[in-house]
Amino acid sequence: MNIRSEQEMLSFGREFAKGVTYPYVIELIGDVGAGKTTFVRGLAEGLGVKEQVTSPSFMISKSYALPNGGYLVHYDFYRLPEPGIMQDDLAENLKNPNNIVVIEWGESIAEFLPKEHVKIEIKYTEEGREVTI
């Protein structure tokens, strides 16, 4: 799927939200600036999150309340070569059946993710971004 603009990425995220079941785990793969966080902004909107989504890069994780009582939990492990205590935080959030967990740069915690999770890969192309699910 080719995504030509930031707006299209936001729409893709909103549309993707319609097919999400609870709990749900998404691993986002793509270079810095590919559009991973932009996708999560659209996803959050589609899931009914009222707050503004910002990049969790400097926070490692951010949680947004969902209408079902669970949370959209957004991780970015880019600056975290060793998961450390975040591993417990992740395990805790993966346990809540009402959560949607989205992970950027998940290599360091790959072994702690459930085997059944969705991978979305975003690649730069001349026309925009090539997205593979």
Interacting residue ranges for ligand ADP, rule: CB under 6 A? 3-6, 8-9, 30, 32-38, 55, 104, 128-129
| Least gap, CB of 61 to ligand ADP (angstroms) | 14
Q: Does 11 bind Mg ion (CB under 5 A)?
A: no
Q: What are phi and psi of 57, to 5 degrees?
A: -50, -45
74 binds Mg ion, rule: CB under 5 A: no
Name which of 38 and 63 has its Cβ closer to ligand ADP: 38
Three-class SS of residue 99?
Answer: coil
Q: Does 37 bind Mg ion (CB under 5 A)?
A: yes
Least distance between ligand ADP and beta carbon 25 (Å): 17
Q: Using CB under 5 A, which of 55, 87, 96, 108 touches Mg ion?
A: 55
The length of the chain in residues reads 133
The whole-angstrom separation of Cα 20 and Cα 43 is 10
Alpha carbon distance 59, 56 (integer Å): 5
Alpha-carbon distance of 12 to 1, in angstroms, equals 10
